Amino acid sequence: MHDDRALVEARLQRVLDERIRPALYPRSVPLEVAAWVAPGEPVPVAEGLAARHTPVAVGDAWGAPWATTWFKVVGTVPEEWAGRTVEAVLDLGFDERMPGFQCEALVHTPDGTPVKAINPRNQWVRVGAPVRGGEQVTWHVEAASNPVILDVHPFLPTPLGDPETAGSEPRYRLARMDLAVFDTTVWELIQDLEVLGELMAELPVDAPRRWEVLRAVGRALDAIDLQDVNSTADAARSQLRAVLASPAGASAHRISAVGHAHIDSAWLWPLRETVRKVARTASNMTALLEDEPEFVFAMSQAQQYAWLKEHRPEVYAKVKKAVADGRFVPAGGMWVESDTNMPGSEAMARQFVHGKRFFLEEFGVENDEAWLPDTFGFAAGLPQIIKAAGAKWLLTQKISWSQINAFPHHTFRWEGIDGTRIFTHFPPVDTYNCQMAGREIAHAARNFKDKGVARHSLAPTGWGDGGGGTTREMIAKARRLRDLDGSPIVVWEKPAEFFAKAEAEYPQAPVWVGELYLELHRATLTSQAKTKRGNRHSEQLLREAELWSATAAVAAGHPYPYAALDRIWKTVLLHQFHDILPGSSIAWVHREAERTYETVAAELEDLISAALTALAGSGDAELVANSAPHTREGVAAGAVATVSREGAAVRAEDREGGGFVLTNGLLRIEIDDRGLVVSALDLTAERETVAPGGAANLLQIHPDFPNMWDAWDVDAFYRNVVTDLTDADEVALGEVSQGAATVCVARSFGDSRVVQSLTLARGQRRLDIETEVDWHETEKFLKAAFPLDIHAERYAAETQFGHLYRPTHTNTSWEAAKFEACAHRFVHVEEPGWGVALVNDATYGHDVTRTVREEGDRGSTTTVRLSLLRAPRFPDPQTDQGLHRFRYALAPGAAIGDAVREGHRINLPERRITGTGAVAPLIAVDNDATVVTAVKLADDGSGDVVVRLHEAHGGRARAVLTTGFDLAGAVTTDLLERATTDGPAIERHGNTVRMALRPFQIVTLRLSVAGTRTDS
C-alpha cells in the first residue's frame, strides 16, 4: 500500500479547522448588549447590577487597562429551536492563545447569582439542554479588561503593569454576543478526531496501531458531507468507534489526572484581581463537577479559599458542598504556594500551620501532601517542616525547567538537612497546565524516569497561572484516554489516591539528599529588594511581637493579641507567594507590597511597645530588651536588663597612605583611601581575613541582560564583564567614642550614589557595614565582594532551621549551575579551626568562588559576594529604582555557632527602653547550639506557652529549658500544636525540661502554666 499518511493527517487538520469546528454552532441570533464602566476599582455585584447601562454593539472597543465593565446581555430563544441544546457564545475579544492572561468575566443572573466564568478557552454559557423555545435570557457579565503583559513577543518592557502608567485606551473589541444552537454530535466528533489525531502523531510510524487509527480517520472524513457537517457527524463518529474502543495494553503507563487551575496569587495582575480570578475559576469548576461525575478538581492555597469566603460567599458555599462530596479537593495545606528558598524558619512553618488549620476548620480535611508545582526550587530544610506539619508527600513540577542538568528521578524520596525523607513526585508530563493533549500524555509516559520499577504519574490538568481550570474538552479527552490502545491509561483521581498508589508500588524509591536547586530563575533571590527587606523585617518583628506579648501575658496579665497576630501572619505569608517575594510581579504588586509592609511594621511596633511597657513599667531606668536567641552584652535571650558592655575601648587612627585604622583589642581593621577594607586582622588568632592584595566591601557592577525572564533570571555570562567601584567621593572619619568608631564612605557611579558607614564596636568581633544606595541604573547587577584568605572546598549557607553546605568549586555541571544561590542570615567559610562569617539583614542572593594565586605562596582564597540590587525592565520597568538600605557585617574568626549568633544579632537589634527594672526571660535554654525560633501562646487560647527550637550547629545537642513561670506540664507537639510522639524524649523536673536533639532537629514544646486552663 502506498504511504499516504501525510496526506490524511493534513486533510484531518484542514477539515477540522475549516468545516467541523465552524459547524459546532449551526444557528445563532444576536443578543442585545449594554455596558456600564465601573469608576476606578471593582464594585460590589449589587452596584454593577443596578447601574445604568448604555447600548453597545459587536465590534465596539471596550476595556481600559485594569478597568471593569458590566455588560448586560438580553435575548430570546427562537421558538423553532425547541428541543435543541442552546448556549450563549460570549466573545469579549479573546485571544485563544492567552487563557488567564487577558480579559475575563464572571456571568451573573439578574439576582446576582454567579453562573460561570468566560475566558479565551471557555466562551459559552448553557441556556438549556433542551430548550422549550421562547425563553427570555438576561445575564450580567462582570468583565475585567486585564491588559496583556506577557505578550506573544514576551519580556518587552511595558507600562501596563501599573495603573498610574497604563493609560486609558481600550484594549479589546467585542467579537461575538450570540445565542446559538450547540450541536452535541459535532462537539463529540471534534473530541474523537482530536484525540485520535494527536494519538497518531505520537505513535511510531511503523506501529500497526498508528495505521489502524489513520485508516479509521480517513473513513470518518469520507463520511462527512463538508456542505452538511451537522447531518453527517454521527456517521463519521460511527467510523471511529472501533479504534476508540480498543483497550490499552497491560503495561501501559498510568496517569492520575487531577483537575487543576494553578492560580498565581499575584503576578501579572494585582492581588485584588486574583480574588476575582479565584471566584471565576471556582464557579466554573463547581459547575463542571455537577456535570461530570468522574471529574475531580484540586485547588491549593488556603488564602484563596479565604478570599472566596470573604468576598464571594455564594461561590464559597458551592465549593464547600463540593468539598464535602469529595469532588473539590483542598490540596497542599499551605496558606499560599510560597517561595521556599527565602521565607525564614518560622514563616515556612506557619505556611503549613495556617494553611492546614484553615482546611481542618473549614472542611474537616487534613492534607498529607505539600503541593507546590510552580515554586522556584526547594530549600534543604523543607522535608522536616513538611513532616512536622503532619504531611508526608510533596508534588512539584518546576524542576523540569532546569537549564543544564536533567533531574534523574520523577518519583523519589527527598532527604533534608536533618535526615527526614519525604516521598516526592515530579509529574513527567512537565507542565502544571496539562490540556490532555496527545503529545503531553505520550511525553509523560516516555519521559518517566522510573520505568520498570514504577508506572504511576500525575497530571495536573487545566488552564493555570491566571486561572481558568479544567474545561469540558479536557474531560472529554480524558474519557477517551481512560482505556485506549497506544496511550497511557488516564483516570481522574485525588492527589492522595495517586500518592498512596505510587508509594505502595515503589517502596524502595531512590533518595535525593539536599536542596532541590532550580537551575533557572536565580535572580529572584535579588529582584525587588524592598519587597525582600519588607519580608525579612516583618518576620523579625513578628518574632518580637510574639515573644514580648507572651512574656507580658504570663508575667503581667497583659492581653495577648491573638487576632492581630493571626491576621498579620497571614498578610506576611501571602506576600511570600512565589511571584511576590521573588520580585517577579508587575509594578502594582510590589508598590502595594511596600505599603503593606509599612503598615505591618507600624502595627507590630505598637504591639511590641505595649508588651514591653507592660513588662518594664513606667520607670526611667535605661534598659535593653534582647529578642535574639542568645545572650547579648550580659542581657539574656528574651530578657530585659541593663547592658554590660565589656572590652577594650575602640581606637581610630590615620592609616599610612590614606584612610583609617580601627582597633578594639579583638580586631584591627584597615580602610584605605578608596574606602575599601584592605585588612581585617583577628588579633586573638593573629590571622588576616582579607585575601592578599584584595579589598573587601568592594562594590562591583555587572551588565545584566538575561536571554529571557528578565526579573527572574541572571545568566552565567553576566560575570564576563565587571566594573569595580573603587573611586570614592569621600572617605572620612565619622563618630568616634570608646564604644564605637565609624568610617563614612561615599561613591558615585552612573546615575547612582552609595553612602556607607563602616563601624567597629567595643567588644565585638565583627565589622558592621550600613549601605545606602540611591539606585538609578538599568539592566545592571550590583554586588558586594569579600575576598577571604581561606582555603575552602565548601561553605555553609543558612536555610530554614539550620544550614546546608555547597561546594566552592565547579567540578561538575551540577556544581557549576549553582552560580547564584540562597542564604538567609549568614554565609560561613572556614578552614579547620578558623572561619569567617558574612551576615546580613535583608539579602538572599550570593555567590562564592575560589581563586588560586599564581605567585607568592600560591595559596587559594575564597570570595563571597552578596547580591544587592538589579534593574530588570520586565515585568516592572522601574524595578528597584530609588533608595535602598542594607546592613551586613564581616565577622573574622567566626565558627559556625558565631555565624548563627551574629546572624540573629544583626536581624534582631537590641531595643532600648526605659522602665522600673529588669525582666527575666519567659524561657531560657542553656545551650547556644539550641536556638529558639518562637515563643508564643498557644493558638487555641488555652494560655499554654508554645516554644519552637532547633539544633542549629549541625551536631548533637543536649539542652535544658527553664521556664520563668510555674510549669504544670510539658509535651512535644507538631507544628499545629497537637501532641505527638515524633519528637525527642523529654524529662520534666520542676520548671525545667531536658532533651537531646539530633543535628538540625526541630522541636515544638507545649508548656502548661500552673493555674491556667490547658487543652494539652
List active site positions.
374
Residue 960: Cβ within 10 Å count: 15
Residue 978 — φ and ψ, nearest 5°?
Answer: -105, 135
- CB 172 within 8 Å of CB 103: yes
224 grid coordinates: 462527512
* Cβ neighbours for 764, distance < 8 A, ≥ 6 positions apart: 647, 664, 666, 667
How would you write 859-897 as a 3-class SS string? CEEEEEEEEEEECCCCCCCCCCCEEEEEEEEEEECCCHH
Distance from C-alpha of 399 to C-alpha of 298, rounded to nearest angstrom: 21
For residue 130, the SS3 value is: coil
For β-strands 393-395 and 421-425, DSSP reports them as parallel
Distance from C-alpha of 361 to C-alpha of 517, rounded to nearest angstrom: 34
Among 869, 968, 960, smallest CA distance to 526 is for: 869
Half-sphere exposure of 451 (CA within 13 A, CB side): 11
For the packed helices 587-616 and 562-574, what is the interaxial angle rounded to 10 degrees?
A: 150
Kindly state the DSSP code that residue 240 receives in the 8-state scheme.
Answer: T
- CB 417 within 8 Å of CB 826: no
* Burial class, 982, CB count within 10 angstroms (exposed 0-12 / middle 13-18 / buried 19+): exposed
Max intra-chain CA distance, the chain: 102
Residue type, 460: P
H or E segment at 9? Answer: helix 5-15
For residue 104, the SS3 value is: strand
Rg (CA), the chain: 31
For residue 788, the SS3 value is: strand
* Residues 991/994/999/1002 CA torsion (nearest 10 deg): -40
- CB 637 within 8 Å of CB 579: no
Query: Looking at the chain, how many residues does it have?
Result: 1016
* b/e burial code for range 17-34 (CB count within 10 A of at least 16 → b): eeebbebbbbbbeebebe
